Structure 1
Amino acid sequence: MSTGAWAAAHEQSITDPTAFWGAAAEAIEWATPPTTVLDDSNPPFYRWFRGGRLNTCFNALDRHVRDGRGDQAALVHDSPVTGTAATFTYRELLDRVATFAGALASLGVEKGDRVVVYMPMVPEAVVAMLACARLGAVHSVVFGGFAPAELAARIEDARPVAVVSASCGIETTRVIEYKPMLDAALDRSSHKPESVIVLQRPQARAAVGERDTEWEELDWDELVSDAEPADCVDVEATDPLYVLYTSGTTGRPKGIVRDNGGHAVALRWSMENVYDIGPGDTFFTASDVGWVVGHSYIVYAPLLTGATTVLYEGKPVGTPDAGAFWRVCAQYGAKAMFTAPTAYRAIKRDDPTGSLLAGYDLSRLETVFLAGERLDPDTYAWATSTLGVPVVDHWWQTETGWPIAANLRGLEPMPIKPGSPSVPVPGYDVRVLDDRGEEVPRGTEGAIAIRLPLPPGTLPTLWEDDQRYVDGYLSVYEGYYLTGDGGSVDDDGYLYVMGRTDDVLNVAGHRLSTGSIEAALAGHPDVAECAVIGVADELKGQVPRGLVVLKGGVDGAAQGERIRAELVQRVRDEVGAVASLRRVDVVAALPKTRSGKILRKTMREIADGTVPVVPGTIEDASVLDALTPVLRPSP
């Protein structure tokens, strides 16, 4: 166990959070310094940096230009789906943001107003987010291409003054027109925004202003042509910066609130201490601005730091091949990259020997960070041996906005243990609890919870629903935030996250995590990726079923029986006969959300014969259609 910089920082952050976060806040420029670092007067609603006033956009752009970084690259847009690339300096990005903020202001957008952003991975999406922050308005980014029902629910809940959209998004094989889906969503919503702004893309231009609507429709270029640049509007540290709705919700969507002050302090601290990224470094995060990873580590954290961020409109494979990430890292000199394990599993499936690395100079790439799905040891080993740099698993949630557990490469690099995201990040008092709310012994699995208060940058509540925040996160264990994940802590203090607690199987009274069984399956040399679900069984309550995707070049038809038998034996050898894994199916693909999460719950519902809940964030619904006869064979 470390007794060095990490241990000292973590200890201080828990025992004296005022001193720890007060020092971290000095990296942010305040219009008015906070009078109280931690306001704990109204638990469980803790607030950070009470009394402080700032502007997040000023900290992300203006101060860098003022302090001499105006000519440094701020944002690189790389779009293999359109065959274009562009680089924006801090000065150029500031000019665009200030002008668009002026355009929004001319439409009546003011501090506290909400603006829904429904856009693909284009520079204008970043501009729109920062322009809202500049005005003190609250942006709510909805993943581009979301179906009308999900978009309408978010418009209904956020009640935006304006919606900023694009005419289309572009996938590897198709163009997705956004405007018809936006129109359908606005028709469904009882709330009508005052303005709809559309960025016209040449791949599919949208008809603007031709239909009879209750809202004003404007072309992006038309709107900004006469706009006067807007100055920054200072807001309270506790005022909301954005609302981000979690995916896959039913009923009223769940809006995660992120405040201005705590968010800026936490993300700025995390860049140098977790990711070892400082001013002038290049950071490549392969995610989407519609997800929390995109908010935090494409847009805000790199720019708050004075780094260069890469906005990538493409895929890990297919644009044009499994070497896409290596090209981007080499072309822009990325010091670190961050994506989901599922992206690396896709690369490994298409290029298992890593042959596409040849010809790309990755000498400046020092670290790869993975999060979003559990990083299985086999994918970790492949990525580490292929790239020759540390591959760092880390764990966090939409709700937290930045890592809960990580190997802090800037603060104190620690030994990496495959299967573990390493140690709790300073600010997070992580405990593993049993059903009674008591800590379990080291090495024993339980529910992962975080003792309150949560650190800065995490959700202070849900949008206009304090009670739902308490009921959903704080009610199971008094004084704790329930993460919804299960796991354990080893003797060295390393955390192991084994999956959502609803993915814990109860096999004849034995509690088994799907993560441990998946780790056994993933270690087979022919398996590219896998998933384990628990299905109902009359005798044992639940039994596990495995689904595996084979690596490219492996003939499933010819070798499937051998591979399946070997997989069943691997689980017996590594987990034990108690796992009762008898069935493993070889499938072409696993159903995932667009952020890369495997839809285990949906597959389990199909297998159990119940009506599955298919989230609007599903990447490819046809994958579920193909799996249905496998999961639920006809009688």
Structure 2
Amino acid sequence: MNYQIRSFEEYEDAYRKSVEDPEGFWGEIAEQFQWRKKWDKVLQWNFEEPDVKWFQGGKLNITENCLDRHLQTQGNTLALIWEPNDPREAAVKITYRELYEKVCRFANVLKKHGAKKGDRICIYLPMVPELAVAVLACARIGAIHSVVFGGFSARSIAERIQDAQCSIVITADGSFRGTKTIPLKEVIDDALEQCPSVKSVLVHTRTRTPVYMQRGRDYWLQEELKGADSDCPAEEMDAEDMLFILYTSGSTGKPKGVVHTCGGYMVYAAYTFSNVFQYAQPEIHFCTADIGWITGHTYIVYGPLACGATSVMFEGVPNYPDAGRLWDIVDKYRVNILYTAPTAIRSLMQSGMKFVEGKDLSSLTKLGSVGEPINEEAWYWFHEHIGKGQCPIVDTWWQTETAGIMISPLAGITETKPGYATLPLPGVQPVLLDEKGEEIQGNGVSGNLCIKFPWPGIIRTTYGDHERCRQNYFDTYKGMYFTGDGCLRDKDGYYRITGRVDDVINVSGHRIGTAEVENAINMHTGVVESAVVGYPHAIKGQGIYAYVITEKGIEEEESARQGISATVARLIGPIAKPDKIQFVRGLPKTRSGKIMRRILRKIAEGDTANLGDTSALLDPPIVDEIKNGAVIS
């Protein structure tokens, strides 16, 4: 990894070069990967259509870079360490050679079921080794994977399968998550009632839950793998061929399929992993994310494997069987790099120091935070009690759409500030814009965060709907990628993300569109209309506050709240359940019918002293009614 930055001076030199000569900069980095054919052109782009192409004409397969090229030098090095949900169950350790063989066998099973280059395959699995293997097996044969988080509902899965027209689903009988057993196959069966494109379902055995198996469609994965060959030549892919679709919640009700491609994604995933975490073999890297989210794609699977790293993959949750579980894993595997979410840190912090005491955390050298800005109290607790004051914290800002980390300290190189993502990585050119789209120059300023030049991991399109991609990210400010986040740049030029400026709530680091939750609430019997906003939540960062209008008065409010929550959980998934539900007679609307979310947000936050002028609303008295009936926890 000759592209790893070793000092702040090297960072400044790399950043300067990446801005002055981006094609030369990224071309040099890309040279260090294995290509079947070198590219003809490093970059072609415009942000109007948008149309961005990296390493055009280059031929490769990402799995050859994640697996094959490591076999001679580190075939016996551990690629993955799997820690099960139940600490009494045996862990699984997989070397690069073993992972290569598992991926080839799985790829041959997919081919046996008719999968070919360009086909879409839905993966709905627990955090078991087969999930990483399935992702790589798809990439091996040029099929496009679409991983769906194991907490989503049948309806949410069906929407994603229908949008991508998936031909194969890979799932399990069930999953273990803390004390719960989740019936994954049952959920898939419900989803597939609306998905005629699916021809085969491969079912991994995990919980041994009795499940329905449809003849000619459903196959036990273990049985299929038994006779599969452990050799599968990698499909040659163009750098701009699709690698995966990952669905993210939008500000309109329908989830959008973010598309990433083979060449640029590979280069950016490996470059950011190597530099942000300053990875050096034989360090043990533990990212606590689920592979169902982009963090797991980039920093459990592709980034670490492309760098020949060893990654810990954890099936369970941080508080099972108690709040010391993450520290037990660090102790057990002598973890060096721990990358987790502020939600987890705040939750474990509230559990108290008794779960930290007696755990040997001396192996830790670097800590990371992802999903949302980390608050200062959690930052200091993480630094002092987990890092023992010795470990730099990389507070990373990025998105599903960016594929990898964009603004972050480089561990041990950049001076950190609690709550700050600090400085952009080489190749990332952030700007702050005002509401008129004018660039705000200098330091000590704040505005809307945009990026003015492409990086290799940039979103290429939203699957099947390029116009939606253009409108969401490139239409608000011409010639810019709009992140949807507000941002402050302090006197030192350090960046601090101040939160979403659109109708998306960041719950435990996961972006959930308000429209999607409102659509689900409105499906509940007796609901006329709803409005959803985010509010500060001590553990999750943001909670979901729902204002709900019903056809008739509510006699049993708590029962109605439980029913609405159950509807949202069924239609989207438990992660989207409102934390607070307030039943209201009406909503504050302008005379044109627009809901004044700013007022609802302030009421939800408990900041009712300055709601502004409400006299121009259609029904001004409704504001006081809502304010007086606010749900206070």
Quote how far apart the aligned CAs of 1:497 are.
Answer: 0.6
What is the DSSP-based 3-state SS (H/G/I as helix, E as strand, rest coil) of the residue aligned with 1:603? strand
CA RMSD of aligned residues (A): 2.9
Quote how far apart the aligned CAs of 1:607 are.
Answer: 11
What is the DSSP-based 3-state SS (H/G/I as helix, E as strand, rest coil) of the residue aligned with 1:399? helix
Note closer, same or farther for the CA distance 1:330–1:3 as it changes in structure 2 (3 Å cut). Answer: closer
Distance 1:341 1:202 in 2: 30
Which runs of 5 or more structure 1 residues have no equivalent in the other structure?
A: 505-513, 516-532, 534-543, 550-589
**Counterpart residue number, 2:134:** 128
Code of the residue aligned with 1:61 in structure 2: it is L
Distance 2:9 2:467 in 1: 40
Counterparts of residues 482-521 of structure 1 (less than 5 Å): 482-502=482-502
CA contact (8 A) 1:256 1:463 kept: yes
Note closer, same or farther for the CA distance 1:471–1:120 as it changes in structure 2 (3 Å cut). Answer: same
**Counterpart residue number, 1:34:** 39
Distance 1:339 1:249 in 2: 26
CA contact (8 A) 1:157 1:253 kept: no
What is the DSSP-based 3-state SS (H/G/I as helix, E as strand, rest coil) of the residue aligned with 2:187? helix
Code of the residue aligned with 1:49 in structure 2: it is F
**Counterpart residue number, 2:528:** none
Note closer, same or farther for the CA distance 1:608–1:296 as it changes in structure 2 (3 Å cut). Answer: farther
Task: Give aligned-pair identity as a percent.
Answer: 36
Q: Does 1:337 align with 2:343?
A: no
CA contact (8 A) 2:251 2:502 kept: no
Code of the residue aligned with 1:479 in structure 2: it is G
Quote how far apart the aligned CAs of 1:333 are.
Answer: 2.0
Instruction: Render the CA deviation track for 1:578-631: whole Å, top value 9, x for unaligned.
Output: xxxxxxxxxxxx6x5xxxx634xx41656999x999586654577626788996
Quote how far apart the aligned CAs of 1:303 are.
Answer: 0.6
Note closer, same or farther for the CA distance 1:320–1:31 as it changes in structure 2 (3 Å cut). Answer: same
Quote how far apart the aligned CAs of 1:361 are.
Answer: 2.4
**Counterpart residue number, 1:171:** 177
**Counterpart residue number, 1:576:** none
Note closer, same or farther for the CA distance 1:176–1:202 as it changes in structure 2 (3 Å cut). Answer: closer
TM-score, normalising length from structure 1?
0.79
Counterparts of residues 181-330 of structure 1 (less than 5 Å): 181-189=187-195, 191-209=196-214, 216-228=217-229, 229-247=231-249, 250-317=252-319, 319-330=320-331
**Counterpart residue number, 1:161:** 167
- Which range moves more in the overlay, 222-231 or 616-625? 616-625
What is the DSSP-based 3-state SS (H/G/I as helix, E as strand, rest coil) of the residue aligned with 1:27? coil
Code of the residue aligned with 2:434 in structure 1: it is D
Quote how far apart the aligned CAs of 1:195 are.
Answer: 0.7
Distance 1:368 1:154 in 2: 34
**Counterpart residue number, 2:545:** 603
Instruction: Render the CA deviation track for 1:441-464: whole Å, top value 9, x for unaligned.
Output: 422221111103x20022111112
Q: Does 1:49 align with 2:55?
A: yes
**Counterpart residue number, 2:594:** none
Instruction: Render the CA deviation track for 1:396-451: whole Å, top value 9, x for unaligned.
Output: 11110111100012xx7121111211111111110110012112242222111110
Note closer, same or farther for the CA distance 1:224–1:480 as it changes in structure 2 (3 Å cut). Answer: same
CA contact (8 A) 1:246 1:255 kept: yes
Note closer, same or farther for the CA distance 1:200–1:628 as it changes in structure 2 (3 Å cut). Answer: farther
Distance 2:503 2:273 in 1: 32
**Counterpart residue number, 1:624:** 579
Counterparts of residues 519-538 of structure 1 (less than 5 Å): none
Note closer, same or farther for the CA distance 1:625–1:500 as it changes in structure 2 (3 Å cut). Answer: closer
Quote how far apart the aligned CAs of 1:207 are.
Answer: 2.5
Note closer, same or farther for the CA distance 1:546–1:202 as it changes in structure 2 (3 Å cut). Answer: closer
CA contact (8 A) 2:449 2:482 kept: yes
What is the DSSP-based 3-state SS (H/G/I as helix, E as strand, rest coil) of the residue aligned with 2:460? coil
Quote how far apart the aligned CAs of 1:323 are.
Answer: 1.5
Distance 2:583 2:338 in 1: 36
Distance 1:546 1:144 in 2: 26
Distance 2:467 2:573 in 1: 29
Q: Does 1:397 align with 2:403?
A: no
Code of the residue aligned with 1:219 in structure 2: it is W
Distance 2:535 2:128 in 1: 38
**Counterpart residue number, 2:409:** 407
CA contact (8 A) 2:461 2:469 kept: yes
TM-score, normalising length from structure 2?
0.80
What is the DSSP-based 3-state SS (H/G/I as helix, E as strand, rest coil) of the residue aligned with 2:400? coil
Note closer, same or farther for the CA distance 1:608–1:365 as it changes in structure 2 (3 Å cut). Answer: farther
Distance 1:123 1:194 in 2: 24
Distance 2:239 2:583 in 1: 49
What is the DSSP-based 3-state SS (H/G/I as helix, E as strand, rest coil) of the residue aligned with 1:416? coil
**Counterpart residue number, 2:153:** 147
What is the DSSP-based 3-state SS (H/G/I as helix, E as strand, rest coil) of the residue aligned with 1:46? strand
Code of the residue aligned with 2:435 in structure 1: it is D
Instruction: Render the CA deviation track for 1:325-360: whole Å, top value 9, x for unaligned.
Output: 111112212221111101000000101xx3333333
Note closer, same or farther for the CA distance 1:34–1:86 as it changes in structure 2 (3 Å cut). Answer: same
Note closer, same or farther for the CA distance 1:207–1:545 as it changes in structure 2 (3 Å cut). Answer: closer
Code of the residue aligned with 1:335 in structure 2: it is N
Counterparts of residues 464-613 of structure 1 (less than 5 Å): 464-502=464-502, 549=538, 598-599=542-543, 602-603=544-545, 605=547
CA contact (8 A) 2:153 2:573 kept: no
Code of the residue aligned with 2:159 in structure 1: it is A
Note closer, same or farther for the CA distance 1:249–1:498 as it changes in structure 2 (3 Å cut). Answer: closer
Note closer, same or farther for the CA distance 1:35–1:622 as it changes in structure 2 (3 Å cut). Answer: closer
Quote how far apart the aligned CAs of 1:27 are.
Answer: 2.4
Code of the residue aligned with 2:545 in structure 1: it is M
Quote how far apart the aligned CAs of 1:378 are.
Answer: 0.9
Q: Does 1:25 align with 2:27?
A: no
**Counterpart residue number, 1:72:** 77
Note closer, same or farther for the CA distance 1:395–1:51 as it changes in structure 2 (3 Å cut). Answer: same
**Counterpart residue number, 2:118:** 112
Note closer, same or farther for the CA distance 1:548–1:103 as it changes in structure 2 (3 Å cut). Answer: closer
**Counterpart residue number, 2:370:** 371
**Counterpart residue number, 1:537:** none
What is the DSSP-based 3-state SS (H/G/I as helix, E as strand, rest coil) of the residue aligned with 1:23? helix
Distance 1:617 1:373 in 2: 21
What is the DSSP-based 3-state SS (H/G/I as helix, E as strand, rest coil) of the residue aligned with 2:127? coil
**Counterpart residue number, 1:359:** 358
CA contact (8 A) 1:247 1:617 kept: no
Note closer, same or farther for the CA distance 1:340–1:416 as it changes in structure 2 (3 Å cut). Answer: same
Quote how far apart the aligned CAs of 1:252 are.
Answer: 3.7
Quote how far apart the aligned CAs of 1:8 are.
Answer: 1.8
CA contact (8 A) 1:34 1:49 kept: yes
Distance 1:200 1:383 in 2: 37
What is the DSSP-based 3-state SS (H/G/I as helix, E as strand, rest coil) of the residue aligned with 1:310? strand
CA contact (8 A) 1:27 1:268 kept: no
- Which range moves more in the overlay, 303-312 or 328-337? 328-337
Distance 2:43 2:207 in 1: 49
Note closer, same or farther for the CA distance 1:468–1:502 as it changes in structure 2 (3 Å cut). Answer: closer
Code of the residue aligned with 1:358 in structure 2: it is E
Quote how far apart the aligned CAs of 1:545 are.
Answer: 10
Note closer, same or farther for the CA distance 1:395–1:382 as it changes in structure 2 (3 Å cut). Answer: same
CA contact (8 A) 1:168 1:205 kept: no
Quote how far apart the aligned CAs of 1:296 are.
Answer: 0.5
**Counterpart residue number, 2:88:** 83
What is the DSSP-based 3-state SS (H/G/I as helix, E as strand, rest coil) of the residue aligned with 1:423? coil
What is the DSSP-based 3-state SS (H/G/I as helix, E as strand, rest coil) of the residue aligned with 2:402? coil
**Counterpart residue number, 1:4:** 9
Code of the residue aligned with 2:464 in structure 1: it is E
CA contact (8 A) 1:34 1:53 kept: yes
Quote how far apart the aligned CAs of 1:145 are.
Answer: 3.3
Distance 1:365 1:607 in 2: 51
Quote how far apart the aligned CAs of 1:483 are.
Answer: 0.4
CA contact (8 A) 2:175 2:207 kept: no
Distance 1:617 1:331 in 2: 36
